[in-house]
Every structure is written in structure tokens, then in C-alpha cells.
């Protein structure tokens, strides 16, 4: 193992030991907490899965809110996300979740404080903790961990993408992997949920400029090309990129040089474009789709576990 990754792994192990050995107790909210997280730094599909799981809960009539750090925002403290607000205040992914699910979304660096705020306003309902697997200061009743393609072969940060080694899956209640992938040995004994990822596209011209600021941009382009799209040019930005006027000029120039007829980007990037979106025209937005195999069985198991743990507390 690379020395830097070894140091990172030691720090992660010590941080977990603080909670595993009860040297420090996690704070517990009155309402149950279901965490959706991952082991890698981005790109595993947490936000689409939160949208999927949230839609399933809503269809069952389960009241819930979403707690998120609001990564990439420039504000501090706890905020109730306004669906029409700016990404700079709330973060792009919390805005996307609030707009799509139309449930309360609360952002805060400390998710326990955010949860207390949510309970003061909406009562002790179920909390979906977005990107919460490493946020161990908040106790949870069910841990869902998503594994992206290639995660099982990745190295620890800063050399690779892993925030924790695969052995951390021992803390998970359910491990989510894509159809066709095999779960790693470290997931033995865990409930394995299988998903199918796709992409929903509006009617499009033949020749496109694809741009995005996501964790794994190459995968976005691969999905477009697998659907027969003629991607004439690409432009990638860092994850959660806040677009500027200079970016708009560069993209428009790229469209002219490549002979493309239109632009295509992701839902998250549409949010981060903000007022500059009108200048990127014509612009198509691709939506990530996700289906969970045996969805009712998975949801029943999760709700049963949450109810059982709540009853024994």
C-alpha cells in the first residue's frame, strides 16, 4: 500500500474505533435514521438512490425528511432548503432532492444539529441521511452502502478513491451494487440489493456537446454514446462546479468549433448553471434513472429493521 494511503487508512481506523469501542457515543435523534452512503469519493449514485428510496417511501405514505451536508455550498450552519433557491446557499444535490421529492431537506455540517432542527419543525419522522456512512457522530438505524463499479479494486485516498477500506462494509445493513457485478467478499452476510442504472433523454439533435461537473464524467459520456448519441465534443469540470460567464463563453465557442447542434448536461449541472443556463442553448438535460430489484422486499426489510430497533430502544 502507498504510504499516504496507509496513513489515511490508519486515521480512518482510529476514527471508527472511537465509536466502535464506545469511547464516544453517537448522538441519537428521536425519529429513526436511514443512511445512504458509500465507500468511495463520489460517483456511486447516492443522490439517484436517495431519490429512488424517497419515492418509494412517499408511495408507502411514510413521512420523512432528508438531512445533508450540502457539499459545495458557500453558506454555513443549518438551513431548510428552498427548492427555488441558489446552489451557493443549499448545495446542488440537496436542491435536486428537494425539487424532485418535494419533502423537507435540511443541510448542515453537523447532521445531528440538522436533524434536531428538522424535528423541531416537522416532528420526529424518518430521516434519510444523505452521504452519511462516515458521519458516525449521528446514530442511525439502518445503513445502506452503495458500491460503484471498480470500488472493490480501488485504493484508499489520496492515491485512490476509497474513504474507507472494504472491511468497513461490516457496519452496513444493506450493500447496493449494480446488476452484473459481484459483491466483494467483505459484503458476505450482508443483504445485497441490486440496482439497474440508466439515463432518460429528451428528444435530441444528432450532434451534441456534452459537458458536466460530476465525479465520473466519462461514465456520463459513455451512457450517451451507448444510446446512440453523436457526442462531437466534451468539456468536464470538477464535481459540484459553479458555472461562470467565462465557462459559458468557452462552451459556446466549443459548440461552434465542433459543429454541434445542441448541448447536453446532467440535472446537477443544470442547477449549478443557475442564471447562465439560458445562454447555453439549445440545452438538453439527461436524468439518471435507477431501478431496485425486489423493491418491495427491500423496503419491507428496511422498515421492519427500523421499527424493531426503535421498539427496543
Q: Identify the band that residue 3 occupies on the pLDDT scale cut at 50, 70 and 90.
A: confident
Residue in 227, 218, 174 with CA at minimum distance from that of residue 198: 227
43 pLDDT more than 90:
no
Same domain membership, residue 95 and residue 226: no
Same domain membership, residue 113 and residue 234: no
Q: For residues 71-76, give the mean pLDDT.
A: 93
Give tens-digit pLDDT for 157-171: 999 999 999 999 999
pLDDT of residue 234: 98
7 pLDDT more than 90:
no
Candidate from 37-46, 166-175, 259-268, 269-278 with smallest mean pLDDT: 37-46
In a domain, 212, yes or no: yes
Q: In this structure, what CATH number is given to the domain that contains residue 218?
A: 3.40.120
Candidate from 36-40, 83-87, 152-156 with smallest mean pLDDT: 152-156
> What is the residue range of 305's domain?
3-197+291-312
pLDDT higher at 66 or 159: 66
In a domain, 54, yes or no: yes
What sign does the dihedral 199-91-237-180 (CA atoms) show? negative
In a domain, 177, yes or no: yes
C-beta separation of 151 from 169 below 8 A: no
Give tens-digit pLDDT for 89-136: 999 999 999 999 999 999 999 999 999 999 999 999 999 999 999 999
Q: Identify the band that residue 312 occupies on the pLDDT scale cut at 50, 70 and 90.
A: low
Mean pLDDT, the chain, integer: 94
Residue in 146, 150, 149 with CA at minimum distance from that of residue 168: 146
pLDDT of residue 145: 97
Q: Identify the band that residue 309 occupies on the pLDDT scale cut at 50, 70 and 90.
A: low
pLDDT of residue 205: 80
Same domain membership, residue 51 and residue 136: yes
Same domain membership, residue 59 and residue 157: yes
Give tens-digit pLDDT for 194-238: 999 999 998 888 899 999 999 899 999 999 999 999 999 999 999
253 pLDDT more than 70:
yes
Q: How many H helices and E strands in the chain? A: 9, 12
310 pLDDT more than 60:
no
> In whole angstroms, what is the distance from residue 240 CA to residue 233 CA?
21
Q: In this structure, what CATH number is given to the domain that contains residue 169?
A: 3.40.50
Helix, strand, coil share (%) of the chain residues, nearest 5: 40, 25, 35
In a domain, 132, yes or no: yes
Domain count of the fold of the chain: 2
> In whole angstroms, what is the distance from residue 254 CA to residue 258 CA?
6
Amino acid at each position: 500500500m502507498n504510504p499516504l494511503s496507509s496513513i489515511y487508512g490508519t486515521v480512518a481506523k482510529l476514527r471508527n474505533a472511537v465509536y466502535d469501542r464506545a469511547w464516544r457515543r453517537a448522538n441519537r435523534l428521536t425519529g429513526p435514521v436511514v443512511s445512504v452512503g458509500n465507500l468511495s469519493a463520489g460517483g456511486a449514485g447516492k443522490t439517484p438512490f436517495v431519490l429512488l428510496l424517497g419515492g418509494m417511501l412517499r408511495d408507502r405514505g411514510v413521512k420523512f425528511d432528508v438531512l445533508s451536508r450540502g457539499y459545495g455550498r458557500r453558506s454555513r450552519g443549518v438551513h431548510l432548503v428552498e427548492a427555488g433557491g441558489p446552489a451557493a446557499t443549499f448545495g446542488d444535490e440537496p436542491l435536486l432532492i428537494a425539487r424532485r421529492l418535494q419533502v423537507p431537506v435540511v443541510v448542515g455540517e453537523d447532521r445531528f444539529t440538522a436533524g434536531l432542527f428538522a424535528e423541531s419543525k416537522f416532528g420526529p419522522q424518518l430521516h434519510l441521511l444523505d452521504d452519511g456512512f462516515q458521519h458516525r457522530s449521528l446514530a442511525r438505524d439502518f445503513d445502506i452502502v452503495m458500491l460503484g463499479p471498480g470500488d472493490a479494486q480501488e485504493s484508499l485516498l489520496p492515491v485512490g478513491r476509497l474513504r474507507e477500506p472494504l472491511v468497513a462494509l461490516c457496519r452496513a445493513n444493506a450493500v447496493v451494487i449494480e446488476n452484473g457485478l459481484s459483491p466483494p467478499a467483505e459484503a458476505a452476510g450482508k443483504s445485497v440489493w441490486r440496482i439497474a442504472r440508466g439515463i432518460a433523454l429528451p428528444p435530441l439533435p444528432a450532434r451534441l456537446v456534452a459537458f458536466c461537473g460530476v465525479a465520473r464524467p466519462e461514465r456520463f459520456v459513455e451512457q450517451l454514446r451507448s444510446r446512440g448519441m453523436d457526442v462531437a465534443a466534451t468539456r468536464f469540470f470538477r464535481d459540484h462546479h459553479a458555472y461562470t460567464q467565462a465557462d459559458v463563453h468557452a462552451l459556446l465557442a466549443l459548440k461552434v468549433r465542433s459543429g454541434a447542434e445542441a448541448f447536453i448536461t446532467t440535472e446537477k449541472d443544470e442547477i449549478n448553471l443557475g442564471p447562465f443556463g439560458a445562454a447555453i442553448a439549445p440545452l438538453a438535460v439527461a436524468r439518471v434513472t435507477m431501478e431496485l430489484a425486489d423493491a418491495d422486499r427491500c423496503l419491507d426489510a428496511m422498515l421492519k429493521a427500523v421499527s424493531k430497533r426503535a421498539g427496543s430502544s
